[in-house]
């Protein structure tokens, strides 16, 4: 879906016949929106045509201007440098946009670009036997936002949590448990003690490498379905999954399926057979590998020399299973960028198996998460106890609320929404591939580029709407009364949010939405602080209330698409 004003302009530009080779789609693509609206609301850079037309850009822009008939949607056209700049008819633009927005509310933004196409979205996927890491937190938040954004825009999304619940680490855990643990010891604090066992295993293995062989042996027996070992494994995984559930509840994140790696155990043998029968895998030093040298990649190991399966084997099995079961047209893996090469190898192997759709599998990668104070990261790298992060954020949010609004009802509940909102928003504060620097003081500010700032702006509007004692349904807005530049610039942001949504969905970048919301909130606050809203002539007040309400609709929608709750007071 393109911006309707670009479509109108493209038609008019083409009608002039000044640029014979230009087609509407290309023209729409070329049209820019200058950052400074004094330069116009849209601009056509004419440099692109100089070569074919053998004229300088300024001359091309002038010719176009002289031949164009401007439709009523625009008020002015100017040549600035090699650009042809167009100015919207502000009054009409404000009236058209707000009238439609007020009528359709959030449906104004609900563009069906997905056509019910099925997207399989894999996100979160933490590893059992280790605490929930910050990298998994990022995957969880980004995945959850993409789920909501894509669903909103008409895709049929299936969300899967590919929990790491199988692999040699269970061999290690069981060896450690048998040596140093006991049922009673574990029951006291299962997650902590299981992790301690895991850490102890690695420490002891440094001086006693035979432990690793032992663990491998145990895992091999698990793959052979040794009943006693499977019982232990089931116990460990249940303990973890219950714990993860608490985290997902706190974050308000859901999945359609939680199917861990172990779910694909019964499909592993057939994938190995397939790889062998198609001559894609070969034996190398006793192990089975897919040689990817022709594609400048190291080989993908699919079966160990002791015949047990690997992460990659289970992923291949999962991919084929999912394609058959869900008939997805796209599959997206929200996983940190450290696995970039791995996913390339995986998708290439699928292609080599003869499945063309391997080309459309996508790794949605993201950068690391650093804590500015460094204290939160434990010695085991980026493993951070999420619970501690949430608790600290809650405390800080409560502290701020106590300073700003001590009489607020249900302070604890609001503080939690603010805290989780702040944590989540920091994941969207830049493009996902960039690293995130998590700064406690910054992320909880009510006036920075933060989640709480958006929540606060929304609350500000809600309280204004409460003061205006008329029901929204009964508003009779004459939007042509909105004549200030602040109002126009705000409406422009509201209008552009449609394009932003589509861009966020097509590039799988929740960041665009976060940025769009910040821009809207800043514009709103500028408008709010520079103009009287209630103490003006009734017709103006009513139109301004309408504009405020429309802004609230977007903030509410945008926050919910990012998985962030919007409290009604704070």
The site that binds ligand ARG (CB under 6 A) totals a number of residues, namely 8
Q: Residue 41 or residue 315: which is nearer to ligand ARG going by CB?
A: 315
Strands (E), 361-428: 361-364, 369-371
d(CA 257, CA 243): 17
Query: Min. distance of Cβ 25 from ligand ARG in angstroms?
Result: 36
Nearer to ligand ARG, 169 or 565 (CB): 169
Measuring CA to CA, which residue among 362, 492, 369, 378 is closest to residue 3? 492
Binding part of the chain for ligand ARG, among 120-128, 286-294, 467-475, 497-505 by CB under 6 A, reads: 120-128
Three-class SS of residue 218? helix
Of the pair 11, 435, the CB lying nearest ligand ARG is at 435
Nearer to ligand ARG, 264 or 497 (CB): 264
Binders of ligand ARG among 257-296, rule CB under 6 A?
Answer: none
**Shortest distance (Å) from residue 277 CB to ligand ARG:** 24
Can you tell me the distance from the alpha carbon of 171 to that of 220, in angstroms, rounded to the nearest whole number? 8
- Distance in Å, CB of 347 to ligand ARG, minimum: 11
Q: Which is nearer to ligand ARG, 122 or 365 (CB)?
A: 122
Q: Provide CB contacts within 8 A for 312, sequence distance 6+.
A: 300, 301, 302, 342, 345, 346, 349
C-beta of 335 vs 517, nearer to ligand ARG: 335
Cα 559 to Cα 71: distance, rounded to the nearest angstrom: 36
Judged by beta carbon, residue 31 or residue 332, the one nearer ligand ARG is 332
CB of 383 to ligand ARG, least distance (A): 11
Kindly tell me the sign of the dihedral angle through the C-alpha atoms of 521, 527, 528, 530: positive
Please say which residue, 333 or 488, places its beta carbon nearer to ligand ARG. Answer: 333
Task: Transcribe 69-84 into DSSP letters.
Answer: ---TTEEEEEEETTEE
Minimal distance, residue 127 CB to ligand ARG, in Å: 5
Nearest Cα neighbor of 162 from 134, 118, 126, 131 is 126
Q: 299 to 318, contacts with ligand ARG by CB under 6 A? A: 315
**Residue closer to ligand ARG, measured from CB, 125 or 426:** 125
Q: Rounded to whole angstroms, how far apart are CA atoms 61 and 561? A: 41
Residue 528 binds ligand ARG, judged by CB under 6 A: no
Q: Among residues 57, 82, 131, 164, which is the contact residue for ligand ARG, using CB under 6 A?
A: 164
Q: Which helix (H) or strand (E) holds 272?
A: helix 265-277
The Cα–Cα gap between 178 and 30 comes to: 67
Strand (E) or helix (H) holding 232: helix 227-251
132 and 106 in contact (C-beta within 8 Å)?
no
Q: Does 169 bind ligand ARG (CB under 6 A)?
A: no
Q: Looking at beta carbons, which residue is closest to ligand ARG? A: 164
CB-based contact 501:106 (threshold 8 Å): no
In the chain, DSSP finds a helix count (H) and a strand count (E) of 21, 13
Q: Which is nearer to ligand ARG, 219 or 333 (CB)?
A: 333
Question: At its nearest, how many Å lie between ligand ARG and the CB of residue 166?
Answer: 10
44-65 b/e (C-beta count within 10 Å ≥ 16 → b): bebebbeeebebebbebbbbbb
Q: State which of residues 125, 168, 313, 450 lies at the interface with ligand ARG (CB under 6 A).
A: 125
Shortest Å, Cβ 319 to ligand ARG: 8
For ligand ARG, which stretch binds (CB under 6 A), given 15-23, 122-130, 200-208, 535-543? Answer: 122-130
Tokens of 553: 């609709």
Helix or strand (DSSP H, E) at 341: helix 340-352
Nearer to ligand ARG, 318 or 502 (CB): 318
CB of 164 to ligand ARG, least distance (A): 3
Choices 85-93, 119-127, 206-214, 432-440 (CB under 6 A): range interacting with ligand ARG: 119-127
Show Cβ contacts of residue 538 under 8 Å, excluding neighbours closer than 6 positions: none
Report, in Å, the least distance between residue 162 CB and ligand ARG. 4
Which one among 127, 362, 430, 525 touches ligand ARG, defined by CB under 6 A? 127
Q: Mask 324-343, x = binds ligand ARG (CB under 6 A)?
A: ---------x-x--------
Least distance (Å) from ligand ARG to the CB of residue 124? 9
Please identify, using beta-carbon distances, which residue of 308 and 345 lies nearer to ligand ARG: 345
Which residues does 126 contact at the CB level (< 8 Å), separation at least 6?
132, 133, 136, 163, 164, 244
Provide the minimum distance between the beta carbon of 436 and ligand ARG in the complex, in angstroms, as a whole number: 18
Cβ of residue 343: shortest distance to ligand ARG, in angstroms? 8
Minimum CB separation of residue 125 from ligand ARG in Å reads: 4
Q: What residue has token string 């500015």?
A: 372
Q: Decide if residue 198 touches ligand ARG (CB under 6 A).
A: no
Nearer to ligand ARG, 134 or 419 (CB): 134
Nearest one of 521, 525, 522, 545 to 533, comparing CA atoms: 545
Report whether 457 contacts 514 (CB < 8 A): no
What whole-number distance in Å separates Cα of residue 382 and Cα of residue 370? 8
| Residue 529 vs residues 222, 330, 487, 521, 532: alpha-carbon distances, Å | 66, 46, 12, 12, 8
Distance between CA atoms of 161 and 214, rounded to whole angstroms?
Answer: 30
Instruction: Report, in Å, the least distance between residue 376 CB and ligand ARG.
Output: 19
- Which is closer to ligand ARG, CB of 333 or CB of 512? 333
Is 122 near ligand ARG (CB under 6 A)?
A: yes
Q: Which of 90, 148, 162, 417 binds ligand ARG (CB under 6 A)?
A: 162
Q: How far apart, in whole angstroms, are the C-alpha atoms of residue 74 and residue 9?
A: 9
- Nearer CB in complex with ligand ARG: 138/162: 162
The four Cα atoms 514, 517, 519, 525 give a dihedral, to 10 degrees, of -140
Which one of 50-58, 121-129, 243-251, 368-376 is the stretch in contact with ligand ARG (CB under 6 A)? 121-129
- Residues near ligand ARG (CB under 6 A): 122, 125, 127, 162, 164, 315, 333, 335
């Amino acid at each position: 879906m393109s911006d309707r004003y670009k479509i109108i302009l493209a038609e008019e530009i083409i009608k002039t016949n000044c640029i014979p080779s230009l087609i509407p789609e290309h023209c729409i693509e070329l049209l820019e929106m200058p950052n400074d609206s004094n330069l116009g609301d849209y601009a056509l850079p004419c440099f692109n045509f100089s070569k074919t037309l053998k004229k300088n850009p300024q001359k091309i822009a002038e010719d176009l201007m002289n031949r164009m008939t401007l439709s009523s949607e625009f008020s002015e056209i100017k040549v600035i440098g090699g650009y042809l700049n167009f100015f919207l008819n502000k009054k009409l633009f404000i009236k058209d946009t707000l009238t439609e927005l007020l009528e359709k509310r959030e449906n104004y933004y609900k563009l069906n670009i997905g056509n019910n196409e099925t997207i399989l979205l894999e996100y979160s996927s933490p590893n059992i036997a280790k605490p929930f890491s910050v990298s998994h937190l990022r995957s969880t938040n980004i995945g959850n936002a993409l789920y909501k954004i894509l669903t909103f825009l008409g895709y049929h999304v299936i969300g899967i949590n590919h929990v790491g619940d199988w692999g040699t680490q269970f061999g290690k855990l069981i060896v450690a448990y048998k040596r140093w643990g006991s049922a009673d010891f574990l029951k006291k604090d299962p997650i902590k003690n299981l992790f301690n066992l895991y850490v102890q295993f690695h420490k002891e293995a440094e001086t006693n490498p035979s432990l690793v062989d032992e663990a491998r042996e145990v895992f091999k027996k698990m793959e052979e379905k040794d009943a006693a070992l499977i019982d232990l494994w089931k116990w460990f995984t249940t303990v973890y999954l219950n714990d993860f559930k608490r985290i997902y509840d706190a974050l308000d994140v859901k999945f359609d399926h939680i199917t861990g790696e172990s779910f694909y155990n019964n499909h592993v043998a057939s994938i190995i057979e397939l790889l062998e029968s198609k001559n894609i895998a070969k034996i190398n030093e006793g192990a089975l590998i897919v040689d990817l040298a022709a594609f400048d990649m190291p080989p993908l190991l699919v079966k160990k020399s002791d015949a047990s399966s690997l992460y990659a084997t289970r992923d291949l099995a999962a991919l084929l299973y999912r394609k058959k079961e869900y008939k997805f047209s796209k599959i997206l893996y929200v996983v940190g960028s450290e696995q970039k090469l791995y996913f390339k190898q995986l998708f290439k192997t699928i292609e080599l198996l003869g499945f063309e759709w391997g080309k459309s599998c996508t790794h949605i990668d993201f950068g690391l998460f650093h804590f500015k104070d460094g204290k939160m990261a434990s010695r085991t790298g980026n493993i951070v106890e999420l619970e501690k992060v949430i608790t600290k954020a809650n405390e800080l949010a409560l502290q701020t609320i106590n300073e700003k609004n001590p009489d607020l009802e249900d302070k604890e509940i609001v503080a939690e929404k603010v805290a989780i909102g702040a944590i989540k928003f920091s994941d969207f504060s830049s493009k996902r591939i960039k690293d995130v620097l998590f700064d406690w003081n910054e992320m909880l500010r009510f006036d920075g580029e933060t989640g709480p700032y958006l929540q606060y702006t929304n609350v500000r509007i809600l309280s204004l709407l409460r003061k205006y004692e008329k029901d929204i349904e009964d508003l009779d807005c004459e939007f042509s009364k909105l004549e200030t530049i602040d109002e126009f610039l705000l409406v422009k942001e509201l209008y552009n949010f449609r394009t932003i949504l589509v861009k966020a969905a097509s590039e799988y970048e929740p960041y665009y939405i976060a940025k769009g919301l910040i821009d809207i909130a800043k514009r709103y606050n500028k408008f709010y602080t520079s103009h009287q809203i209630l103490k003006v002539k009734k017709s103006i007040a009513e139109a301004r209330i309408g504009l405020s309400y429309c802004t609230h609709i977007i903030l509410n929608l945008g926050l919910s698409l990012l998985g962030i709750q919007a409290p009604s007071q704070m």
